[in-house]
Amino acid sequence: MPSILLIPVLLFVDSLHFIFARLLFPYSPPSVSVVFVLAVATLEVGLYAAWTKKINWRKIRENLWLFAALGLLIASSTTINYEAVEFIDPGIASVLSQTGTVWAVLFGLVWLKEELNRLQIFGGLLAVGGIILVNYQAGDYVQIGSLLVLVSSALYALHAALTKKFSEDIDLTNFFFARLAFSTAAIILFSFLNHSLALPQGKAWPFILLAGTVDVTISRALYYIALRRLKLTVHTIILTLSPVMAILLSVLLFDSKITTRQAIGGVIVLTGVLLVAYWRTREKPSV
């Protein structure tokens, strides 16, 4: 898929994460939903990997520590996000999750030794400024829902840095399957230890199947493809646009209200993202 098409499609499916979490909330406890959402995605990717003969068990064993770490980080981050929608609007949660941009920029600059030009730095700061503006308007960034999302964003940013640093020599299908399998195993372990492992209600299954397919299988496949093509910092800053879509969807589906400050913050985020994306098109694509 060419990057000019990959980025907008990724932005749309990425914006659905908290929307699916909120849609599932009335039908199934978050601790139950997240287990089966990831299990559905693991089954789908596993069947595809087996059909295309892309599963390399030796490679998985050689990188066991990496997949174990990613599994724990993703399981923790996803569980936290599904719990957070009980306390916070999905649109605002999506905006708050973009604080991962700050963590990713730090990981990219300090650990991965990436470089940004001045325009990219300005665009990144502008995007972060828009995030802060929206967060300030919400007025509840110290409440439990917001704190959960902030912690989750830090965990997911660390996962992205580990993936960028150590997985680029692993076939993408094999990596994705192992990442999902270890994440699902970690969440099942969490649920077992918390005595929350159970079957979801019948009404929840259509949303679980849809969330597993769109929010995990499709969304994360595109996420990793983009992560391999772009710098970690550029990749993360571009994704700061997804909360704008998430807020619009939240208004349509859950009757959320968009304030003037939220709208201004969204425009600022969009401007910063466009600056980064514009400069990216003038660079030679990674291979």
Residue 42 reports pLDDT greater than 80: yes
Residue 286 counted as domain residue: no
Query: Across residues 138-143, what is the average pLDDT?
Result: 49
Q: What is the pTM of this model?
A: 0.77
- H helical segments located in the chain: 3-14, 17-24, 30-51, 57-62, 64-84, 90-97, 100-106, 118-138, 144-166, 172-193, 205-210, 219-229, 232-238, 242-254, 260-280
Instruction: Report the mean per-residue pLDDT for the chain.
Output: 80
Query: Across residues 31-60, what is the average pLDDT?
Result: 93
**Residue 84: is it exposed, middle or buried by C-beta count within 10 angstroms (0-12/13-18/19+)?**
buried
> Dmax of the chain from CA atoms?
54
Q: Which residue, chain included where needed, has tokens 């660390």?
A: 158
Structure-token pair, residue 38: 């990831």
Q: What is the pLDDT at residue 287?
A: 36
Q: What is the pLDDT at residue 145?
A: 74
- Under the banding of pLDDT at 50, 70 and 90, the label for residue 182 is very high
**Number of structural domains, the chain?**
1
Query: Across residues 201-217, what is the average pLDDT?
Result: 93
Residue 230 counted as domain residue: yes
Residue 242 counted as domain residue: yes
| Residue 123 lies in domain | 3-280
Residue 285 counted as domain residue: no
Residue 108 per-residue DSSP state = I
Q: Comparing 53 with 93, which gets the higher pLDDT?
A: 53
Residue 36 counted as domain residue: yes
Residue 16 counted as domain residue: yes
Residue 118 counted as domain residue: yes
Structure-token pair, residue 234: 């550029």
